[in-house]
Each structure stands twice: as structure tokens, then as C-alpha cells.
Chains A and B, each alone.
Chain A
Amino acid sequence: MEQILANGVYLGSQYAMIALGLTLIFALMNVLNFAHGQMYVIGGFVTYTIYGQWGVPFVLALVMSCVTLAILGALIEKFLFAPVIKGSAREESTMLLAAGIAFFLDAVILLVFGEKQRGVPKIVDGVFNWDFRIIMPYDRILICMLAILSIVAFIGLMQYTKTGRALRALAQDRTAAQLMGVNVDRYSMIGFALGAMLAGLVGGLLVTITGVNLGMGGPTSIKAFMMVMIGGAGVISGAIWGGIILGFMEAIGLALLYQYGDITYLLIFVSLMIFLAIRPQGLMGKPWG
């Protein structure tokens, strides 16, 4: 049981970070970012190249993943999303754009990095073993800690800095924020870059454990959507809860039902649908977000 809980914490902390980026972008711009999983994969590949191939220290590689994705996110927002949101009659057109970007990033990843599964050397060796009740490699514990630390840092940023305050104002009411003197265009771009950066950070962290490959993008996006739905779209605390809940469901399901194969995911999906039928806005969402 302790082992299941530990796995749950480990999965949950990663998932929460993925969901945070997605929900941030959604809260700010009402964009459902289909390309989030692909951004995560790119983050993984950047760390793989810099740390795994060039032998640069891991922390530096991680920073590079963040920087690359932040720049990428800012450019995508500035030159693609912002003009399309201005020009289209219906807001949902951005979904087509997001899907197009997802395809595009997939193609770029395929051309630049190929389709092979890539892994990097372990960052720390050894396994933590508490009387055979919890067995967990040290690198997983380290990644889990780093993920939790990043989440705390992110919440701190959102709560206590000027940028965070502007972003929260923007998420609450775009027009009102603009009237209060928030530079909406600029902070939309910063927010998008921040969301993309989070995806890159998780990608960089997880490449040390699961490795990275081209096909991970799509399923990651779907999982992120689910977490966001559990917690409520566009709510920061909801995304964290969604990530933790999905992490625990997966850990418990895989432990108890492993002999039935994919039935865990089927159960998760079905229970999610039932949950949403009862509570459409998720745990913490505003009704009709």
C-alpha cells in the first residue's frame, strides 16, 4: 500500500505540472492547446541532446529546455494565436490552429530527432529501500522533489509577483484587466510562454526516467485534458488536484488491475465521464468556465 501511495505521489506531481501549463494557457486565452504534449516532447529532446549527447550538466540542460520552450511559446502566441483570435468570427477557430501546430511540431520532431526512443544516463544511482515497503530509485525521488519544488515556485510566482497578479487579472476578466492598465497583449504572450515553459520543464525532468519518443505527445495531451477537466478548466489549484487525482488513480489501478491490461484506463475514462455528468465544471471550476 505504501508503495502504491508513493507511486501516486510521484505520478501525481509530474501530471500536475503538465496540467498546470495547459490550464494556464486556457485560463488566459481560452485556447485549448492541443500541442501541449508535443511541447513536452520537445522539452525532453532538448534535455536529451544537451545533457545526454553533449555531456553538459543536467541542471543547465533543464534550463535550456525551459528557455527553448518559452521562446517557442512566445513566438507561437505572438505570430499565430494572437492574430487568429483577433481575426476569427468564432473563438473555436483557435482549436484548428492548435491542432495544426501539434501536427507541425510532430513533423519537426520527426525530422530533427527521428522516431527512436531516446534515453539519457541516470542522474543519480541507487535505490531507496524502506524495509521493502517502499522501493523507489533515488532519481525518481529527486525528480519528484524537483517537480514539487517547481509547482511551489510557480504558485509563488502567480501569487506574489507583479507578473503573476497581472496574469491572474487577465484570467479573471480580460476587459477589466485591460481597463486597469494591464498590457493584455504582452501578458498573454508571457502567459503562453510560461505555460509552454512548464511543458518543457516536465519533458526535461522526465527524460531522465522514462526517456522520450515521438509518439508520447498525443497521449500526454489527452491525459492533460483529463486532469484539467477533473480539476476544472482554467483553475490553477484545480489542475494540481486533477494531476494528483489522476496520478493516484493510475497508480492504484495499475497495481490492483494489472492482469487486465488496459482496463485501468477504461475505468478512469468511464468514471471521469460519470463525474463530469454530475459535476460539469470539475472540482473547482467556475460553471461553464
Chain B
Amino acid sequence: MLGFSSKQLIGVGVFLFVIFIGVPLVIGATGRWDFFFTLTSVALLAIASAGVWLTFYIGRINIGQGAFALIGAYVSAILVVKAGWSFWISLPAAGLFAAVVAVLIGLPILRLRGVYFAMITLVLTQVVTLTALALPITNGAKGISNIPLPSGLSIFGIPLIPDFGSMENTKLAFYLTACVLMVVTYAALYRLVNSRLGHLCRSMQQNEELASSIGVNIAYIRIVIFAISSFFGGIGGAMFGSIAQSVYPSTFVVADSVNFMLNCFLGGLGYVFGPMLGTLVLYFGWDLLFEIGKYQMLVYSMILIAVIRFLPNGLLSVRFGKGDKK
């Protein structure tokens, strides 16, 4: 991880300071404890959106992240409730399970491109929702509720997790956990994009045949990328289920898959941190507009349309200008 300019380091430092110290202080001062839940959701959805962004990076439009988030949420919930695992072990297990599913499904469907891939992933979300309704282990439409909080017993017994939570309330603990996960995710994403694999992905984004002709194993890379992407989705979904303490087939539906994609678009596809900003703006904006009651959807969609109408390349394109690849 060499080659950071001091400006970048300061930026990262300020960002970490704000999310880990600034935000809790501000919320503590203003007493808006509900913002913790909002921001936790933003962090988790940003993790899933990071996965979608990664599939964009190899030139595929992924509208199926809701499927993998739902798979992750169910795997974690089933492992915790029925098998009695600790949540912190079920979390990576959920991610890995989602990744394995992604490999199996990805083998055939990653041959598709463009809108075909987009539409089949959209259908995939619907398949997973219907499967969750049909399978006995997922409890059908009733879902799995009363998932025990990870903080209660298991979390503090494991030395891997710092003892941040024992005297704090769960809202803050969840917020910090989600932020740590998000920071790790985006650090991994940044590392990936600036690695050899990242260069290969960019070559695929531009022209798959050409990349293939100069010796890039495109079939292998797209499977790997799709698996990583779904791993993020699974992690985000599992954590989300644990915070809500319940999972239903409707926890992640087609609209969520579309939202994950919108987060990436809105933030800008050319920037690693685009999806994070996109998620923050979309989710927080939606939450703030709750005040205006029944006009919430109207104003929200009008802002969305206006943004894409005047900034078609995403919010971050304002600052960096066109063509600047991060």
C-alpha cells in the first residue's frame, strides 16, 4: 500500500475521525439517537453496494445484490438460531456461502453481458425471495425472528472483538461494528482496484475479447470478482439481519437490488468511494424527507431525476471532472 500522497492520508484520517469520533459525539450532543440506526444501515448497505460496484468494474450491471444479501442474512440467522453458532463465526460463513452460491450461479450467467446480465440478476433476486418462501428451513413467509443479539453472550467472550461494547448501548456498538466492517471493505476494495487484478478488471471493462486475446483469463476473473462481490453482499445482509434481529423473505427484495445499483450510479462508477457516498445520500436523503409525509416519495424521486439529469456521471464527477480514474 505505497504511494499515498499526504493529502490522501489526511483525507482518510479525517474520514476515520469523523465516523468513529465525530458522529457519536454529535449524536450524543444533539440527542438524535435514531440517527445511529440510520447511519448503521448506511454503512451496511454501503458494504453491499461496494460489491455491486465491483461487478460494474468488470463491465457488468448487477441488479442481484439483494439476492446475496438475503442469502447472507438467512445463513447467518439459521446458523445462529438453529445451529447455535456465535454470530461472529456465522458472519464470515454467511459471506462465504454467498460467494459459493455466486460461483455456482455465476458460471452460467456470467457469460451474459449488458442488459441480459442486468435482467437475469434482477430475476435472481426474485428467485431467492421465492425460494426463501418455499423452503422449510427458512420458515416461509413467517421468516426467522428473535435472533439473539450478538452482543449479549458471544461477542464479549471472543478475544478477537475488542471490548468496546460492555458498557455502551447496543446502538453505538452496532454503529461502530458496521463502520469497522465498512472501512475494512472499502480498504480491501481500494487495494483490489489498485492491484494487478484491478488492472485486469479495467481491461475487461473496456473490451473483453481484446483482454482475452492478450492472455487475460476472463472466465476466471469474472467468477472471482462476482464471488467477492457476493461475499460483500452476504456480509452486509448477515449483519443487517442481526441488527434487525429478524429475517423475512421480504427483507431484501427487487427494490433493494435496484437501490444497491442506484447507490453506485449516484456516487459515480469511476470512483472507489462512489458507492459509499451514493448510499449515504440516497438513504439519508430518504430518511430526512420523512418529515414531509406523503410527499416524501415525490420529492425524493424528483431530486433523483434532477441529479441524474444534470450530473449524469455521478455526484463525485463534480469535484474530479470527467475521465479521472481513481
Contacts and interface: CB of A to CB of B under 8 A. Distances in A.
Contacts of B295: 107, 111
Contacts of B126: 222, 265, 269
A226 B123 contact: yes
Interface in B78-137: 105, 108-109, 111-116, 118-120, 122-124, 126-127, 130-131, 133-134
A258 interface: no
The winner among B61, B109, B119, B302 for most chain A CB atoms within 10 A is B119
Interface in A246-289: 262-263, 265-266, 269-270, 272-274, 276-277, 280-282, 288-289
A34 B258 contact: yes
A32 B118 contact: yes
B112 A280 contact: yes
Given A89-B322, A111-B294, A218-B254, A281 B116 contact: yes
Contacts of A124: none
Given A103-B301, A108-B298, A233-B116, A88 B313 contact: yes
Given A99-B262, A273-B124, A225 B119 contact: yes
Contacts of B127: 266, 269-270, 273
A282 to B, nearest CB: 8
Contact of A96 (B131, B298, B308): B308
Nearest to A81: B309
A225 B312 contact: no
Contacts of B244: none
Contacts, number: 140
Given A95-B61, A99-B258, A276 B265 contact: no
A191 B130 CA distance: 35
Nearest to B259: A99
B304 interface: yes
B266 interface: yes
Interface residues of B, number: 46
A119 B318 CA distance: 48
The winner among A34, A274, A288 for most chain B CB atoms within 10 A is A288
B301 A80 contact: no
Contacts of A34: 258
Interface string B289-305: 00000110110111011
A96 B266 CA distance: 8
A88 B314 CA distance: 9
A229 B114 CA distance: 12
A276 B120 CA distance: 8
A222 B254 contact: yes
Given A80-B305, A97-B305, A266 B265 contact: no
B312 A84 contact: yes
Interface in B150-202: none
Interface in A89-136: 89-90, 92-93, 95-97, 99-101, 103-104, 106-108, 110-111
A262 B116 contact: no
A104 B298 contact: yes
B125 to A, nearest CB: 9
Given A93-B313, A263-B134, A280-B116, A222 B298 contact: no
B235 to A, nearest CB: 24
A26 interface: yes
Nearest to A267: B130
A96 B262 contact: yes
B308 A289 contact: no
A68 B122 CA distance: 29
A181 interface: no
Contacts of A101: 301, 305
Nearest to A84: B312
A19 interface: no
A269 B133 CA distance: 14
A83 B309 contact: yes
B75 interface: no
B123 A225 contact: yes
B44 interface: no
Given A96-B265, A104-B305, A289-B115, A273 B120 contact: yes
A112 B318 CA distance: 36
A93 B61 CA distance: 11
A272 B123 contact: yes
Nearest to A265: B130
B255 interface: yes
Given A100-B308, A111-B294, A225-B123, A266 B322 contact: no
A229 B116 contact: yes
Contacts of A270: 127
B254 A280 contact: no
A230 B301 CA distance: 31
B73 interface: no
A218 B254 CA distance: 9
B134 A262 contact: yes
9 contacts: A89-B313, A96-B262, A100-B304, A104-B302, A218-B255, A226-B119, A262-B133, A269-B127, A282-B116
Given A99-B262, A104-B302, 9 more contacts: A87-B313, A89-B323, A90-B313, A95-B61, A96-B266, A99-B258, A266-B134, A273-B120, A277-B109
Interface of B: 61, 105, 108-109, 111-116, 118-120, 122-124, 126-127, 130-131, 133-134, 254-255, 258, 261-262, 265-266, 269-270, 294-295, 297-298, 300-302, 304-305, 308-309, 312-313, 322-323
Which 5 A-B pairs have CB atoms at the shortest separation, nearest pair first?
Answer: A277-B108, A88-B312, A107-B297, A103-B301, A104-B301
